[in-house]
Structure 1
Amino acid sequence: MSAHGNPQAYQELKAALAAEIPGERLIDDPLRTLAYGSDASFYRLIPQLVVRVESEAELIRVLAECHSRRLPVTFRAAGTSLSGQAVTDSVLILLGRAWRGHEILDHGAAIRLQPGVIGARANQLLAPFRRKIGPDPASLNSCMIGGIAANNASGMCCGTAQNSYRTLRDIRVILADGTLLDTVDADSREAFRHSHAALLGELERLSRETLADTALADKIRHKYRLKNTTGYALNSLVDFTDGIEILKHLMIGSEGTLGFISSITYDTVVDEPEKAAALAIFPDMATTCRATIALKQTPVSAVELMDRAALRSVQDKPGMPEFLGALPDGVAALLIDVRGNDEAVLESREAQVHAALEGLKTLEPLTFMRDSVTYERYWKIRKGLFPAVGAVRETGTTVVIEDVAFPVERLDEGVLALGEVFHRHGYRDAILFGHALEGNLHFVFPQGFEKPGEVERYQALMDEVAHLVGGEYGGSLKAEHGTGRNMAPYVELEWGADAYALMWRIKALFDPANLLNPEVILSRNPTLHLENLKPLPAADPIVDKCIECGFCEPVCPSKDLTLTPRQRIVIRRELARLEALGERASNDDKARIERLWQDYRYQGDETCAAIGLCATQCPVDINTGDLIRNLRHERNIGKAGVARTIGRHFSGATRLGRGVLNVAAIGQAVLGDKGMTKVSRGLRNFSGGRLPQWLPSMPRAASIKVLSRPVGSGDVARDKVVYLPSCATRVFGAGRDDQESRSVMELTLALLDKAGYEVIIPAMPGHLCCGMAFQSKGQFTEAEHKARELNRELLAASQNGRYPVLSDTSPCTLQMRATLDKRLMLLEPVAFAHDYLLPRLEITPTTERIAVHVTCSSARMGLADKFVALAKACAKDVVVPAEIDCCGFAGDKGFATPELNASALHGLADQVKDCAAGYSNSRTCEIGLSQHGGIPYRSILSLVDRVSRPKTAVAPGQAPA
């Protein structure tokens, strides 16, 4: 008898696993289990236990312990599943850091990937070989290989020819009984043939039976001529006769119900470097569908259909053509992508597209855009359509995405019929987009489940959609998003009784106890898709438009430590829901509120860097850091007086900071690094975390006296620049053991002099602050006061914006751009050096290997490419560490919450171990990077100074390159 639902069974499981798995990876507290109760779908199931596994041995042990207690398990990679595949109310097995391994094979012709590798990372690894993996889902920047393979995800350019099923070379899989099969290993294959002869024999028998049933075999071939992820990959039974080959391909699209994919080897596909995209606007959907059929015969890479409602949802996005807003109702568009190995091939393919569309009316001239900025913008907007629709829904409703495929030759009539179904059931806000070449359409619509009759309305819609697509048109109810829970009740309707029975036989062969992700793909429950619906209550206007897609998670510095932005929002919503109960709240509800807020203090607040990098990945620009800063403001409102005192005496505060550094230097000299670290940790623990942690990378104190010396004044006419040293560079000098002994202020002034600038220092430089130090702690009033002070002084120094202003710290520049007078030309080190200094200097690039760290603020200002270009102008060998998006130092977080910095920079040292030094544009970030990188990190201006000398003549007013 199953122990599922018995809390005692999970406590016993946790105790048994604790013998081999550290307690911090056995998660059962109310806050984090709730956080992992959501994926990108509209379902919520709260696991009883979350186990973060770091090895195959651990995973096998978890499976064995769960099997002995008959406890169901679900595997989770990135949790971007759209149909409820990655949630459970039992045991959730979560992939830890150790599952991010990769190996390039055959000079890029193949790649072996562990399931925790993000799809975009795989393509980054293959880029030097001009190759990529075949699948290209819209969530490629956030979804992981485990989910891509387990769902047979496809995408825009992939079609059916390049999905995981078609590009699979080998697989390493762990079955429900703990057996490991690695198909690349001959010994593993032979051992498996011996130990699991019965399983392989049954698979081969199923293949023979299916091939002998001509009607069933023909139906399977027809279904997979389309995009199809409904049910199991029955095509494996007609495509292969060997048991291991059948097993390999059954694993693709099995959604964790047949086994765990430990690694997968893909045959890669060519990534043609020359790319162009055009937005073709047609007067109606019928014309658009005819254009799609015409384009089917041309060498296009992708054709993406968008109806008028879809265009309306993105027409106001930056960079979109102005004519979109004036388009009439009823129009539709195709985003046409063409690629080639060289310019001539690209031009030829563009010409073939124009020829194919000859005679079809377009409302605007068809123009292919080749510049990378516009091209990437078009695709970013297309990939963000699903979350963008969620952003404009009524607060409190969820968003549903239906993913169907019609035979492309019947696309126009299928679109019309499906639209009529949606309108008939009152879904007039639905938008339509999809991969037109494959007849694959996504219908997205807001859906509330709280009001009476809404669940029934949704059920009636789904029933009719299933009969229309799966029955009348012989299409796919799930073309690429996986069956999950959402379509499980309709698998038999689409496939028929014989094929459905065949799927159940497959499930029984692999998982006779039905413990691997039960109720996913196959279910006897006809109302499964109407149960465990996720509430999305109003919590805060900043985050209410979030649909919990998870796009933000890969760049979050706390993702491997505590919560991600998506999870912070999930918890905040649940707190809002509970608090809205008011007097109706039970004692249990009140206790739960108190416990959640207590745990959220560390998990959600203290470990949030609040740097807003999540907004760069969010299709609707949600900055979860703003949510956390608001919470800090509410919590710290009683400390406003302290903040005001510090702000009004800021010169004294920075002097105190330098004094503390001098005292710490004495302590380090006496105690050594180990002794000083130990003493600092003890004092920090004794203070309850209120005292900062001393770090061995702690620099010397800076000297502000350098600012009193004029630079570049005299008889020679020079261009002028206002130089604003940040409070960080006024406190922190050079590293104690660094060969670069000058502070950022010293080297900045020396470099400006070398480039022929006269430097203007604002009045009261020691007192000025952009306000970010206060803003990040929720002290908004004092932050505004400091911004006003700084604004006044910079306007005066720059003569109301006549001269550019250089801030030596990137995060400060970002803050100032948001708060100061728009007349000010505010530049941080990268943009200033690239645009203004390089044209004035003779550069001799260093032959040393160097590393660069693109700060969060640089990324948010769109300077990542310029940052790398500047580094490559100054060094011949530049390393940009992969998957180090944010250092997590976040001003003073590196001292106050050092574990955040350590977690965010995990793996940095291995990537930069051969580098002589690293360079960035934030002094505090450089402290943390030095600590965890094992090499000194300095200002990027130090690198520019090292490799440059003055040009013989620089005319005042010379325009930047």
Structure 2
Amino acid sequence: MIASGHTQAYRELKAALAEVIPHERLIDDPLRTLAYGTDASFYRMIPQLVVRVESEAELIRVLGECHARALPGTFRAAGTSLSGQAVTDSVLILLSRAWRGHEILDNGEAIWLQPGVIGARANQLLAPFKRKIGPDPASINSCMIGGIAANNASGMCCGTAQNSYRTLRDIRVILADGTVLDTADAASREAFRHSHGELLVGLERLSRETLANTALADKIRHKYRLKNTTGYALNSLVDFTDGIEILKHLMIGSEGTLGFISAITYDTVPDEPLKAAALAFFPDMATTCRATIALKKTSVAAVELMDRAALRSVQNKSGMPEVLKTLPEGAAALLIDVRGDDEAVLESREAEVHAALEGIKTLEPLGFTREQATYELYWKIRKGLFPAVGAVRETGTTVVIEDVAFPIERLDQGVLALTEVFHRHGYQDAILFGHALEGNLHFVFPQGFEKLGEVERYQALMGEVAQLVGVEYGGSLKAEHGTGRNMAPYVELEWGADAYALMWRIKGLFDPDNLLNPEVILSRNPTLHLENLKPLPAADPLVDKCIECGFCEPVCPSKDLTLTPRQRIVIRRELARLEALGEQASEEDKARIERLWKDYRYQGDETCAADGLCATQCPVNINTGDLIRSLRRERNVGKAGVARLVGHHFSGTTRFGRGALNVAAFGQALLGDQGMVKVSRALRKLSGERLPQWLPSMPRAASIKVLNRPIGSGDRVRDKVVYMPSCATRVFGANRDDQESRSVMELTLALLDKAGFEVIIPAMPGHLCCGMAFQSKGQFIEADHKARELNRELLAASQNGRYPVLCDTSPCTLRMQETLDARLTLMEPVAFAHDHLLPRLEITPLTEPIAIHVTCSSTRMGLTDKFVALARACATNVVVPAEISCCGFAGDKGFATPELSASALQGLAHQVEGCVAGYSNSRTCEIGLSLQGGIPYRSIFSLVDRVSQPKETASREEAVPGV
């Protein structure tokens, strides 16, 4: 732990860094140091200072100032690390969004990446070339390249042949003394040889000594026949003799203890497009392991092992095959994946598998599927195992995932021995799965540390596991999750004294003052893995199942502004822990509670869009927005009367909104955009932030009169559809300066008429609301009242569900689907246009480039692919901006907290440059998108209307279901 005497040193450090780094990126307040200091491991350490760096120059300055004060520093990318390698009680150096640079090289044969690029984004960039990066960790949608390389993370298809160590072409690193080495640059290499010749000579000496020690060299080669991330990459000393090459490969898996990876160039690997999978069931683990060994010689892409306990943990989940419930005790399964560039290759590889398993008993006939839904179901079973334990664990416990590798020829013995160890220590709930081809197994189990004796039980388990795997079987204690703090006390046990001493010599060459992530990988502390254990107290049933993995973070609109869902939960848990002290709370505790709640108001509440996207990425399906709305309900309980008044006079409220837009338009005409922004900002400040901020993209007021005229009546036989315009489209009209001057209501009615529909408008359309506007502010009673009111009117208009209901706004449709009568067929613009307008219209696609924004509600409804397909049916050049998820406008958040949308959409303008317009399916979102994107954003109905003509006849086969 950091001594209290260092407090002054941290103050001096912050003051020195403030000369080059803005104050907002130097963080030392109690709320954010705790929030930003939390990773996916079961350790908690609170940094004294968090620094968000945006350049190499800033990073070098941070390292220099830390060194001058002997203060340790730890690098953090995404923080999905499981072994405690990304936590510190000193200086935490966070990567900002500035580290997301990338470049495709050699027609996709290689890719240059900065450490802040998310792994899945790298593969998205490579997809047009049918290539991908070699590493494929399960967290690839969240983890960043810096962490993938620094941990030598691998995955399900990666094996040992395609990990970062094996696919590394070049690397750019910053060492502890601030020196930069770019191995792709001859001048940089030459300069480094001149300035750091002693380091390179030292590495080359270690290589010669290791090669001369035949027993040690053979042990190293054996250990890296397996997946192995325990300790430093000693294979670099036997694979290479040149100091630069040794250094380059030592950085892989070094977990930020030898230097900072500023960029990496990977040689990419083929991404074969055709895929097939088989789920093979075997009567016992011994048979399963024999099958695995047989498959090692085939051209399979992946073989994933799952024991009976693992399969039982998911057998009752929706969509799981019924056969899982009937498997006998002791049974196990292999998920076998094969891939190919063409049908012939795929078929030959399937045949290889059948031949390899000939004579090995299976419980069910082996058959491959290429059907996408079934293929995805099989992988859903495998990927659902870790969260399955997390979802059923006792509140207050964490989820521990141990990650070992056995020599594959002894896999069956190792599995049985390891299972026996877990059961002997009382871990009956442990499940076993893993990457069988590499002998790489994951044991997952719930673990509490609060109850008496639990720490000792865990210690006894780990000691026996380490002896069994590392010594008796010659395996690796950390196959792919990194050593971290969790396994640091056992590195010498696994490797032996000679190899361990070699690792300390490596550390001494790179970091003689031991200031780069100390106590990670190497530690003299035998109980390090039992210290600084993370508390997980009950906070709220809505979020108590959170395992703090961070998978939610990439899609959160506030991730670069304030907190992420994981961090919001971290702070809520800390508040619950402190408040549970009750009368035992000290004055310091009480002051901390008050300060945390005060800061949480903005950091956690006001800047949360509550869009629910976090639930789409969460392994245990937590919607952190539900937590925030619940807190808003508690805070706004005194405003229930106002909410009831607004809800009961809703048509007047929307009329007032249109009137305010007309007044704003007059003000804009008088003062201009800049003048209006200044006046609005001043009025907002005087009101205590109660008045909304006027935006240059503020649209005209809509006219509700368009709903008064009948659409589609007459002699022609037409299908009927109920049209429910949202309150947003009833208030906000078209953009002021846009060529598209029609409101969403006008566009919707025109398209329905063109496609041959008769439109039914529910009674009192100006008064109706789905209730989302009230729900988002925690006014649940009035939200439910408005939903019941809408439900009644839509049932009447649709004749109890006989006719479908179209809502012109996606988020409102999602809310309606979640709350209204199941008899109603509720459709939003994208799904309705794709399924029921396109077949009835003649389409002439646009040739000029357009952009689309898939709203968070569309994502949650599973409409992303349909959205893209609809746009591509209407335009030949469609831009889908990368890494833009929720726009952050969140109803009225864009007016009340405009910095949220600005942060969420940072970089949008660059990505849509050259597009003539953008299209979406939420009017308020389009306001924020227009402002930040620099192009007009309109309803997707505007695009469909622009490119379409009515067909002469509409087939009855194309009728909407329910008509």
Report the counterpart of residue 237 of structure 2 in structure 1: 237
Asked whether 1:375 is paired with 2:378, we answer: no
2:203 alignment partner in structure 1: 203
Residue matched to 1:79 = 79
Q: Distance in 2 between matches of 1:18 and 1:374?
A: 55
- C-alpha contact 1:307 1:331 (8 A) present in aligned 2: yes
Aligned partners of 2:105 and 2:896: how far apart in 1?
44
Measured against aligned partners, the alpha-carbon deviations of 1:663-689 in whole angstroms (never above 9, x if no partner) come to 000000011111101111111112121
Shift of 1:385: 2.5
**Partner deviation per Cα, 1:268-319 (whole Å, 9 max, x = no partner):** 0000000112211222111111111111111100001111221122223333
In the alignment, what sits opposite 1:366?
366
Q: What whole-Å deviation, never above 9, does each CA across 1:394-445 have from its counterpart, x for those lacking one?
A: 1111111110000001000000000010111111110101100000000011
Aligned pair 1:151/2:151, yes or no? yes
Give 1:439-450 correspondences, 5 Å limit.
439-450=439-450
Partner residue of 1:213?
213
Checking the alignment, whether the CA contact within 8 Å between 1:151 and 1:255 is kept in structure 2 is: yes
| Contact 2:119 2:140 (C-alpha < 8 Å) held by counterparts | yes
Return the letter of the residue paired with 1:898: P
Does residue 671 of the first structure (1) align with residue 671 of the second (2)? yes
SS in 2 for 1:19: coil
Contact 2:2 2:89 in 1 (8 A): no
1:377 & 1:67 partners in 2: Cα distance? Answer: 51
1:175 aligns with: 175
Counterpart for residue 92 of structure 1: 92
Amino acid at match of 2:171: I
Deviations along 1:751-772, one digit per CA (max 9) or x if unpaired, are 0000000000000000000000
SS at match of 1:721: strand
* 3-state SS of 2:560 partner: coil
1:754-765 matches, cutoff 5 A: 754-765=754-765
Q: How far off is 1:369 after superposition?
A: 2.5
1:41 maps to a residue whose letter is S
**Distance in 2 (alpha carbons) for counterparts of 1:112 and 1:175:** 20
Query: Does the CA-based 8 Å contact 1:387-1:546 persist in structure 2?
Result: no
- Conserved in 2, the CA contact under 8 Å of 1:4 and 1:71? no
Q: Read off the aligned partner of 2:776 and give its amino acid letter.
A: S
Q: Distance in 1 between matches of 2:520 and 2:958?
A: 65
Q: Please say if residues 5 and 90 of structure 1, whose CA atoms lie closer than 8 Å, have aligned partners that are also in contact.
A: no
Question: What amino acid sits opposite 1:793 in the alignment?
Answer: E
Q: 1:354 Cα shift?
A: 1.8
CA drift of 1:932 comes to 0.2
- In the TM superposition, residue 869 of structure 1 has moved relative to its aligned partner by 0.3
The SS at the match of 1:306 is: strand
Work out the CA distance in 2 between the residues paired with 1:656 and 1:372.
50
Secondary structure in 1 aligned to 2:958?
coil
Match of 2:847, SS state, is strand
Residue aligning to 1:533: 533
| 1:255 aligned partner, one-letter code | E
**Distance in 2 between residues matched to 1:386 and 1:347, nearest whole Å:** 32
Asked whether the equivalents of residues 718 and 956 of structure 1 are also in contact (C-alpha less than 8 Å), the reply is no
After superposition, give the CA deviation of every residue in 1:498-535 in whole Å (9 maximum; x if it has no partner): 00000000000000000000000000000000000000
Match of 1:524 in 2: 524
Give 1:567 deviation, angstroms: 0.4
Partner amino acid, structure 2, of 1:904: A
Give the structure 2 partner of residue 912 of structure 1. 912
The aligned counterpart of 1:269 is 269
Q: 1:355-754 residue pairs with structure 2 within 5 A?
A: 355-754=355-754
The CA distance in 2 between the partners of 1:5 and 1:305, in whole Å, is 51
Shift of 1:68: 0.2
Q: CA deviation at 1:336?
A: 1.0
Q: Residues 891-928 of structure 1, C-alpha deviation per residue, up to 9 Å, x if partnerless?
A: 11101110000000000000001101000000000000
CA distance in 2, matches of 1:471, 1:159: 22
How far apart in 2 are the matches of 1:489 and 1:894? 50
Aligned partner letter, 1:828: E
How far does the alpha carbon of each residue in 1:681-716 deviate from its partner, in whole angstroms, 9 at most, with x for none?
Answer: 111112121111111000000000000000001111
CA contact (8 A) 1:56 1:262 kept: yes
CA shift digits 1:60-111 (9 cap, x unpaired): 0000000000000000000000000000000000000110000000000000
Find the aligned partners of 1:944 and 1:318 in 2 and give their Cα distance. Answer: 36
- SS of the equivalent of 1:8 reads helix
Show the counterpart of 1:227: 227
Query: Do the aligned partners of 2:719 and 2:959 also contact (CA within 8 Å) in 1?
Result: no
Give the AA of the match of 1:456: E
Q: Is the 8 A contact 1:719 1:957 kept in 2?
A: no
**Aligned-pair CA distance for 1:241:** 0.3
Trace 1:288-327 onto structure 2 (pairs within 5 A). Answer: 288-327=288-327
Q: Deviations over 1:326-363 (max 9, x none)?
A: 33322211111110001221122112212222222222
Contact 1:3–1:9 (CA under 8 A) maintained in structure 2: no
Aligned to 1:43, the other structure's residue is in SS state coil
Distance in structure 1 (CA, Å) of the matches to 2:929 and 2:45? 39
CA contact (8 A) 1:4 1:72 kept: no
Deviation at 1:322, TM superposition (A): 2.4
1:958 is displaced (CA, Å) by 3.0
CA 1:45/1:654 → structure 2, altered by over 3 Å: closer, same or farther? same
In the TM superposition, what whole-angstrom CA distance separates every residue of 1:830-883 from its partner, at most 9, and x where no partner exists?
000000001100111010100010000000000000000000000000000000
Once the two structures are TM-superposed, the CA of residue 4 in structure 1 deviates from its matched residue by 7.7
Give the Å deviation of 1:377. 4.0
Separation of aligned partners in 2, 1:560 and 1:909: 17
Cα displacement string for residues 344-395 of structure 1 (whole angstroms, at most 9, x for unaligned residues): 2112211221222222222233232223333334334423422331121111
TM-score by length of 1: 0.99
Q: For residues 384 and 125 of structure 2, what CA distance do their matches in structure 1 show?
A: 24
SS of the residue aligned with 1:52?
Answer: strand
Q: Report deviation, 1:7.
A: 1.2
Deviation at 1:956, TM superposition (A): 4.3
Contact 1:319–1:374 (8 Å) recurs in 2: no
Task: Name the aligned partner's letter for residue 533 of structure 1.
Answer: L
Q: How far off is 1:717 after superposition? A: 1.0
In the TM superposition, what is the alpha-carbon distance from 1:935 to its structure 2 partner? 0.4
Q: Distance in 1 between matches of 2:956 and 2:415?
A: 63
Deviation at 1:5, TM superposition (A): 5.7
Q: Is the 8 A contact 1:387 1:549 kept in 2?
A: no
The TM-score with structure 2 as length reference comes to 0.99
SS in 2 for 1:722: strand
Q: Distance in 2 between matches of 1:514 and 1:679?
A: 55
Contact 1:236/1:249 (<8 A) preserved: yes
Report what 2:110 is aligned to. 110
Cα distance in 2 for residues equivalent to 1:720 and 1:870 = 23
CA drift of 1:323 comes to 2.3
Gaps spanning 5+ residues in structure 1: where? none
Q: In 2, distance between residues paired with 1:355 and 1:774?
A: 62
Query: Any residues of structure 2 matched to 1:746-785 within 5 Å, and which?
Result: 746-785=746-785
Mapped to 2, the partners of 1:284 and 1:429 lie a distance apart of 19
Instruction: Report runs of 4+ in structure 1 exceeding 6 Å deviation.
Output: 1-4
Equivalent pair of 1:137/1:153 in contact (CA under 8 Å): yes
Whether contact under 8 Å (2:702, 2:730) holds in the other structure is yes
Instruction: Give aligned pairs, total.
Output: 961
1:808-823 pair list within 5 angstroms: 808-823=808-823
1:298 partner amino acid? T
Matched letter for residue 631 of structure 2: L
- Is contact 2:283–2:332 with CA below 8 Å preserved after alignment? yes
1:924 correspondence with 2:935 = no
Given that 1:4 and 1:90 are in contact with CA atoms closer than 8 Å, whether structure 2 keeps it comes out as no
Q: What corresponds to 2:138 in structure 1?
A: 138
| Residue number in structure 1 paired with 2:52 | 52
Q: Distance in 1 between matches of 2:377 and 2:659?
A: 49
**Does structure 2 conserve the Cα–Cα contact (< 8 Å) formed by 1:123 and 1:131?**
yes
Which has the higher mean CA deviation after the structures are superposed, 365-374 or 458-467? 365-374
Supply the distance in 2 between the matched residues of 1:378 and 1:687 (Cα, whole angstroms).
Answer: 56
Structure 2 alignment gaps of length 5 or more: none
